[in-house]
Structure 1
Amino acid sequence: MPKVMLISGCPRSGTTGFRTTLTQDTRLAIGLERYLRLSINKKLTPDLWERERFIDVQPNDTHVQPNHRSWGIANRAIDRVRDNYDTLDYIGDKLPRSANSFEVLAETLPDIKIIYLLRNPFDVAASYNKRARNENDKRWRPVTDYSVAVKQWNFDIRQAVNFLDQLDFHIVRYETIFQNFEEFENVYAFLGLEMNDGARSGWQDAHERSLSLEAQRSALTDEEKVHLCAYCNFANYRKLLKHGGFL
């Protein structure tokens, strides 16, 4: 059986882009929120990573079902598991909000590798605002703005800090992972894998995308910045930066 990994982090912290990068490595099969609903409900169990279970998408597993617009992307990971399970090094999932399940994972799957995307709260909050204020974005509720971002960001990083000693975390800094190739190499060292052409190609593509995304960032108002400064738990943020070797 392949080893198990998760790409975790607060929503709007780059988990989707990071997953896209890693999927160019055929040794890895990473779902697209394959078990999001189970994760939120603290029902991540070891059997979910067996071949027959992973390819059997059940209604209560995820919102990414065959009629979802991202199904084509999600199904590639399922096909990879179906066709190459015995030769995979890792099977896993991209699960923002998986912090809900850290306690369950520590009890049932303590050897899981967790790549945790850490992004500063100001850019997370601005990204929440951007989606909340986009009238054409029907998948995001208008009330889920910067004020909700603070609460979810605080919860997520608190959970990560609480389980640093019980689960195997590798902290990835969103702001630099696609600018500094050495940081990406460290991810592979954490997984115990040698870099290959797929991994290098994935990073290069992500590096080029990140340059264009930089110009699209939204700004917070002064009032919103004050709110974040007042309510964000920067002590936990520093603990995660320190765990990742950034301080």
Structure 2
Amino acid sequence: MSRSEKEFSRITEIKMELTKWQEKIKEIKLALNQSYSSVNIRWKYLFVCGCPRSGTTAILNLLNYHPLIALGVERYKHYANKTLIHKLNPDLFQPSVFFDVREEQTNLNPQHKGWENQWKPFYEELKEKFPKNTTIIGDKFPHYYEFYEEINAQFTSAGVKFIFMLRDIIDVALSYDARAKNQKDIGWGRNRNYKFAVSDWNQSLINTWNYLENRKQENLFICEYEKLFSGDDRYLNLLLNFLDINSEREFFAYYKSMTQNWKKYKQREKVIDQEELTYIEQNSNYVLRDKILQKYAPQA
């Protein structure tokens, strides 16, 4: 056998070995998913949404402190559009998929500059909850409110719930403005100011109202930012009852620590231009907000 023939033969052997290992990896992934099957039966799915700057990250941090809850941070945000929303389904929350963060699914992936110090540790800590504890898994992304119907249809058989964060539009607008004026904030458009805030806030209300009215679903919790983060124990219990879970001593202590400075927060001076305030007051859909709160918001 010539040298070239030997080299060709060796390459062929390597390819065959590689194919065998690829098949082995598939078997391992399948076995891993099957090992979670008994847990997966009792999993429920939760999606946190709301107008941006309305406290979706704050409630994510709170809920993830509970041992029974594991929520991603904008884990599948790239699927939250009309052409790709069909890809968002329960299979994506299998551990072997959920913790394999990919660029086509989210910008918070291993290529993100904050991955090593922020997002990688976040998901490593979250992974420790699997499989023995977690009963609620899901994702947080503000704009999931645009796809209530699609998500509900794809997760209904598995059991799905939504939390819609609703915050005072003045605070939302101030937060939009602050980010828009921050030149170092490259993740926020310079034109996404208070006017954008009003538009987004109004649209989030419209989508939420339509879903509630059309579906008559009891799987959506209107969570008022001010009530939850004022430290109201009764309101926290309403939220936990909606999720069908009990409070835990450490979880409750964490909640109290998160909300201990609420009075100082409310007493802070809000600096807002009169022209901006007039625009907000004249263009915000307070009527629809009040209708939602009166008809669908939980009462402590």
Would the TM-score normalized by the shorter structure come out above 0.5?
Answer: yes
Q: Distance in 1 between matches of 2:235 and 2:181?
A: 33
Stretches of structure 2 lacking an aligned partner (at least 5 in a row)? 1-39
What is the rounded CA distance, in whole Å, between the counterparts of 2:118 and 2:234 in structure 1?
28
Choose the corresponding residue for 2:237, options 185, 199, 202. 185
Matches within 5 A, 1:98-247: 98-110=144-156, 111-164=159-212, 165-166=216-217, 168-179=219-230, 180-208=232-260, 210-211=262-263, 213-214=265-266, 218-242=270-294, 243-245=296-298
Match of 2:114 among 69, 77, 81: 69
- In structure 2, C-alpha distance between the alignment counterparts of 1:78 and 1:45, rounded to whole Å: 22
Would the alpha carbon gap of residues 160 and 174 (structure 1) be closer, same or farther in structure 2, given more than 3 Å must change? Answer: same
User: TM-score normalised to the size of structure 1?
Assistant: 0.90
Task: Give the helix-richer structure, 1 or 2.
Answer: 2
Is the alpha carbon distance of 1:85 and 1:177 closer, same or farther for their aligned partners in structure 2, counting shifts above 3 Å? same
1:84, distance to aligned residue in structure 2 (A): 1.2
Question: What is the CA RMSD across the aligned residues, in angstroms?
Answer: 2.3
Cα deviation for residue 78 of structure 1 reads: 5.4
What's the counterpart of residue 90 of structure 1?
136
- Distance in 2 of aligned mates of 1:85 and 1:68: 29
Three-state SS of the structure 2 residue aligned to 1:141 is coil
**Structure 2: distance between partners of 1:195 and 1:83:** 17
Bigger radius of gyration among the two: 2
Whether the 8 Å contact between 1:40 and 1:97 is mirrored in structure 2 is: no
Q: Give the length in aligned residue pairs.
A: 247
Q: Percent of aligned positions with the same letter in both sequences?
A: 26
State the shift of 1:86 in Å. Answer: 4.7
Query: How has the CA–CA distance of structure 1 residues 69 and 210 changed in structure 2, closer, same or farther, with 3 Å as cutoff?
Result: farther
Change (3 A) 1:91 1:74: farther
**Which of 60, 77, 86 is equivalent to 1:36?**
77
Deviation string for 1:8-65 (max 9, x for gaps)? 1110001111111112112111111111121245342232222222112121211111
Q: 2:237 is aligned with what amino acid?
A: E
Task: Give 1:157 shift.
Answer: 1.3
Q: Please, what TM-score do these two structures have when normalized by structure 2?
A: 0.75
Change beyond 3 A, Cα 1:246–1:131? farther
> Is this contact kept in 2: 1:129–1:145, CA < 8 A?
yes
Equivalent residue letter for 2:220: F
1:77–1:167: structure 2 CA closer, same or farther, 3 Å change rule? Answer: farther
Matched, 1:52 2:52: no
Highest relative contact order (Cα 8 Å, sep 6+), 1 or 2? 1
Q: What displacement does 1:108 show? A: 1.4
